[in-house]
Amino acid sequence: MNGKNTLYSALALLTSAALASGCAIVRPGEVGVKSRWGKLGDRVYQPGPVGINYLTSRMHRVPTRTVNREVQLNLPSKEGLNVSAEISILYHIEPEKAPDVIREVGLDYENVLILSVFRSASADICARFFAKDMHSGKRAEIEEEIRKEMDNLLAQRGFTIEAVLLKSISLPPGLYGAIEGKLEAEQEAQRMQFVLQREQQEAQRKKIEAEGVRDAQKVLADGLSDEIIEWRSLEVLERLASSPNAKLIITDGDTPVLINQDEPSGKRR
């Protein structure tokens, strides 16, 4: 009987050992870190099956794929306003840093570290910008500044911040109207500036045209002498004399054509 009991005990022990020894599966997009008797190892297990004794060891799985964490947050602005925002944080853990993350931060690293650093960095960066900047072309600049601040603080801890995205911005009541009014005023100012430039260009064009006419008249006046006028008068008289039509030419003996200068120009014949 004692031999049978011993055999049964040995079989039970072997069965328990077989049941305790098993295989842990590390899924794609994560790595595994094994702990034995509560002591965390430094080896990082890649996706696939990993042998493990469940009586003495435990497999900790850490995701290394990109994680998208959305956060609702009130952000301070430079003028002291609170801007409600919905923000996405995209990050991942460096696989070789997984043991350090578990050892130093724990598996609740997102709440313990990621979100705490994000709240601090976003408040610090947004306080440098006006509320309207979060709705303008400076949004991308704000996102990048927050990402850099977080990455500088978390890179050595094994985290890589890929992007920070301001998805939804809710400005305080009344600020929308003020922003729209300012944009309309800026557009009107730009339009008036365009009109002013166009009028200045037109005035410059007229000035240049007037100077050209003046210079042409001056050249013409400087080139006219009594001899030229007399010669041109003779040419006119010659053309009149050669005309087949009946005509009457009056002259005072000095000029070929006598013009009565006492009468108004409208009464000349």
With a cut of 90, say whether residue 162 has pLDDT above it. Answer: yes
Q: Which two tokens stand for residue 44?
A: 């990082």
Q: Residues 227-267: pLDDT tens digits?
A: 666 667 777 667 766 767 666 666 655 555 544 444 454 44
Q: How far is Cα 134 from Cα 132, in angstroms, rounded to an integer? A: 5
Q: How far is Cα 119 from Cα 172, in angstroms, rounded to an integer? A: 20
With a cut of 60, say whether residue 203 has pLDDT above it. Answer: yes
With a cut of 50, say whether residue 114 has pLDDT above it. Answer: yes
Q: Residues 82-99: pLDDT tens digits?
A: 888 899 999 999 999 999
Query: Which CATH fold would you assign to the domain 67-177?
Result: Tetrahydropterin Synthase; Chain A (3.30.479)
The per-residue pLDDT for 125 is: 93
With a cut of 50, say whether residue 269 has pLDDT above it. Answer: no
Give φ, ψ of 200 to 5 degrees: -65, -40
Q: How far is Cα 59 from Cα 32, in angstroms, rounded to an integer? A: 6
User: Would you kindly state where each structural domain of the chain is located, as residue ranges?
Assistant: 20-63, 67-177, 226-267
Q: How far is Cα 243 from Cα 239, in angstroms, rounded to an integer? A: 6
Average pLDDT value over all residues in the chain: 79
Q: How far is Cα 43 from Cα 32, in angstroms, rounded to an integer? A: 8
Locus of tokens 């020894």: 21
